[in-house]
Structure 1
């Protein structure tokens, strides 16, 4: 019973809602609603124009008459210029205009309708294609509506994304300028059937200085547009005697170099000047060759990065490649020079002898030229220095024995008779005696024979030590001379390689003509799209068509 009551209550609520809807419905208040209808004049015009229209036939009254098609290009985006594949990708609007005598009407007969939009698939279209297409479709794929005027003028502006082939010149990369073309023409009709002209072309001239509309162009982050001319050409092919007309739209672009300067040029310059520091590094550190090798490996990595960017062409070496090659040559030469300097640094008297000419040049002349000053050499330091073990110094007792040895090696008879005071006092009185005193090698001639064998053995030991120290002093002086020669060579090559790096860097990088070209980009001057993405209302400016001969209006018979 409860279920039956609930269903009856729901039916009552439904009837109440339906009653309220009928009362407040527009049909009840205002009467019957008439169905919406489109513009009857436009509909009638559309039916009259296309009822007997054949879109496959060229719209001319006489087959020998030439149909003039005006072509223009509006650039919206420059998506990419791929250096590796040599393809330019652009987003454009292809502006096409012509006169179709079969699409004229008198606005008076159709309620004052002067223009109408019709699907482009229903009317004749010029088969304009891009000849230098690299990938994708040759023709327009998005069939937008065409705008028809009562004079028979047809305006069709379909958008398209084109991938055109572009010959890349990498000679001055990354300070380069590129010139790419987009060539449009009719694929089927010759110049006597369809005469292709630019919308802004002046009579008697085939060149339009500003041939691409940049009013809706979004600025590129990689390129600046310098010139956008258009040129009309007529070419003859072996197959036909009739001319074929086409229009070439050119884009001359200059690369924005900030990215490559920060990520390629500056690191390469820094790595190049690191080579100079190799000659400032002491030879005893043992890291000169290691530093050169590390720099060479870094440059190899930059070469690999460059190979991934530029096309594999053998026509020209890019500017950055020249600089990297120059840097690698500098680093390779620095490795060879460093090996030679280290060879000189570690020479010894037992293996090499320094000639007098070399001694004069590297020890006397070149240090003055290179502003080098050598500390004075004190040969007496060798007597108080231990070069092999310990802390490097000799105790006082041993030093006194060496001093006695220095006296004994002069071979004086007074000293051998244990009366060295007279000999020492006279050592500085008479220079002739000093120069004429006997050497240690002649000590046997002055050794008294009446001394005991123990004293003679001690004397021989002291004489041997003195001679050994004297020879070590001479050897150490020669070793220091070789080290000083290596220091002179390091200073010399430091100056040479610094000059070479500065001159080479400036001479290679400043070859690029774009560094001296201060032409203002034309895209910044002509675009109406601001950087934050807001644009002014676009206006499609196109010249008024002046056909050779306009046919009188065709008064279409209105349908009843």
Structure 2
């Protein structure tokens, strides 16, 4: 405390008829107290000011509660003795009638304690009075400017996992939230007293949120990596497909059924980019009656056929005198024209229809068989390419759906984590 108590303003003394003199010189007392910032900004502090004399003992100087003498009937005084110490406690030891309210602190209680203590150095007791000021910080300023923005940014962490991976802004959003919380953390460091004894509650919450966002950045990088995987390098394992795509996990996460979106599971296929060739194979050929029968210009029936062209009575049939149709190639036409054709196939219906019409026209003349063979080769090449592209697209769609499942799982986890963290803060308050 500040030990300089000089009276700088001259004041008058009140003299009573009984000989009592009342003199109240104004003085400013400066004191220091230890601040506990563990529950900042919802903290209570207790500061004490002790008044006594080291020069005069209790027989020469007595300190009394003047406020108690004026209101002796209104409030009781508590006394107890413990060895060489006698204590008198008063609940309201300070007159607050002229107190001006502070914008940062509320005064909760102002008890006072009077002690008669005998020290080993002296035979007589010494008297002192200690005033305890119970202060409570007003949290409105910190709640509006610090707590609510931090809570809002912590909830934005869950929005990161709801943002589509194809937008390309997931990592940017995470880093923006992390930078914002870092700014608030630096602001908090400037506000609270510098101490290494305890970590404030608000600092714990900010550190927890920053760790959460750091984990969210790592998870987001993994999700983006899964989202943009292709069929050429990565393949979905059987366990992952069974757990993520073939189970009911997507329904529990409120996502669409992957079986309806993706269709049948994609098998591990080797994608060919080479143009297939026609060869007359005696052991693996199919029978067709004529080129016109094979290239039926009714393209809707051609696409709706689900089985290869077959003739059980003959083992081999030639399209004209020069070439025959391979069984695998005929089966390719069947799968290409199946009823489960993809949008990629549907977009090329007009091209294939024109090729089919041209091939049927050329098949009517024996002189145009060489041209017909070229048309068939090109048609099979287009069908092979479209089928390969369809399978590749299915694999890419599977990886995209897996990334959506991972996003939804961590969205739920982080949402629960944010609610639990804020609930713990409210419970601590």
- Structure in which a larger fraction of residues adopt strand: 1
1-structure distance, mates of 2:191, 2:203: 11
2-structure distance, mates of 1:505, 1:428: 59
Structure 1 residue 222: Cα displacement = 2.4
The residue that corresponds to 2:51 in the other structure is 184
Verify: 1:472 aligned to 2:389, yes or no.
yes
Verify: 1:369 aligned to 2:252, yes or no.
yes
1-structure distance, mates of 2:57, 2:307: 115
1-structure distance, mates of 2:145, 2:306: 76
The residue that corresponds to 1:345 in the other structure is 227
Tell me: CA distance 1:422–1:346, structure 2 relative to 1, closer, same or farther (3 Å): closer
2-structure distance, mates of 1:319, 1:313: 14
Contact 1:440 1:467 (8 Å CA) reproduced: no
Verify: 1:419 aligned to 2:314, yes or no.
no
The residue that corresponds to 2:328 in the other structure is 439
| TM-score, length-scaled by structure 1 | 0.55
Contiguous gaps of at least 5 residues in structure 1: 1-132, 380-409, 444-449, 513-560
Map 1:29-428; keep pairs closer than 5 Å: 133=1, 135=2, 137-138=4-5, 140-142=7-9, 144-199=11-66, 200=68, 204=79, 206-235=88-117, 240=122, 242-363=124-245, 364-374=247-257, 376-377=260-261, 412-414=286-288, 417-420=291-294
1-structure distance, mates of 2:386, 2:327: 18
Match of 2:422 among 488, 493, 505: 505
Give the secondary-structure state (helix, strand or coil) at the position aligned to 1:212.
coil
Tell me: CA distance 1:251–1:426, structure 2 relative to 1, closer, same or farther (3 Å): closer
Give the secondary-structure state (helix, strand or coil) at the position aligned to 1:171.
coil
Structure 1 residue 248: Cα displacement = 0.7
1-structure distance, mates of 2:176, 2:208: 17
> Which deviates the most, 244-253 or 369-378?
369-378
Tell me: CA distance 1:427–1:171, structure 2 relative to 1, closer, same or farther (3 Å): closer
Give the secondary-structure state (helix, strand or coil) at the position aligned to 1:473.
helix
Structure 1 residue 471: Cα displacement = 1.3
The residue that corresponds to 1:85 in the other structure is none
Q: Which structure is higher in RCO with an 8 Å CA cutoff and minimum separation 6?
A: 1
2-structure distance, mates of 1:299, 1:361: 37
Tell me: CA distance 1:301–1:164, structure 2 relative to 1, closer, same or farther (3 Å): same
2-structure distance, mates of 1:411, 1:190: 125
Contact 1:168 1:178 (8 Å CA) reproduced: yes
The residue that corresponds to 2:268 in the other structure is none
Contact 2:110 2:131 (8 Å CA) reproduced: yes
| TM-score, length-scaled by structure 2 | 0.70
The residue that corresponds to 2:379 in the other structure is 462
1-structure distance, mates of 2:307, 2:371: 34
Structure 1 residue 193: Cα displacement = 2.8
Structure 1 residue 300: Cα displacement = 0.9
Contiguous gaps of at least 5 residues in structure 2: 70-76, 80-86, 264-283, 313-325, 333-366
1-structure distance, mates of 2:306, 2:50: 105
Give the secondary-structure state (helix, strand or coil) at the position aligned to 1:338.
helix
Contact 1:323 1:509 (8 Å CA) reproduced: no
2-structure distance, mates of 1:252, 1:140: 28
Structure 1 residue 460: Cα displacement = 3.6
> Which deviates the most, 184-193 or 303-312?
184-193
Structure 1 residue 257: Cα displacement = 2.1
The count of corresponding residues between Structure 1 and Structure 2 is 342
2-structure distance, mates of 1:176, 1:427: 76
Structure 1 residue 332: Cα displacement = 1.2
Tell me: CA distance 1:234–1:430, structure 2 relative to 1, closer, same or farther (3 Å): closer
Structure 1 residue 189: Cα displacement = 2.0
Contact 1:411 1:440 (8 Å CA) reproduced: no
Aligned-pair RMSD on alpha carbons?
A: 3.4
1-structure distance, mates of 2:19, 2:119: 33
1-structure distance, mates of 2:303, 2:163: 46
Contact 1:299 1:324 (8 Å CA) reproduced: yes
Give the secondary-structure state (helix, strand or coil) at the position aligned to 2:256.
coil
Give the secondary-structure state (helix, strand or coil) at the position aligned to 2:27.
strand
Contact 2:244 2:402 (8 Å CA) reproduced: yes
Structure 1 residue 258: Cα displacement = 1.9
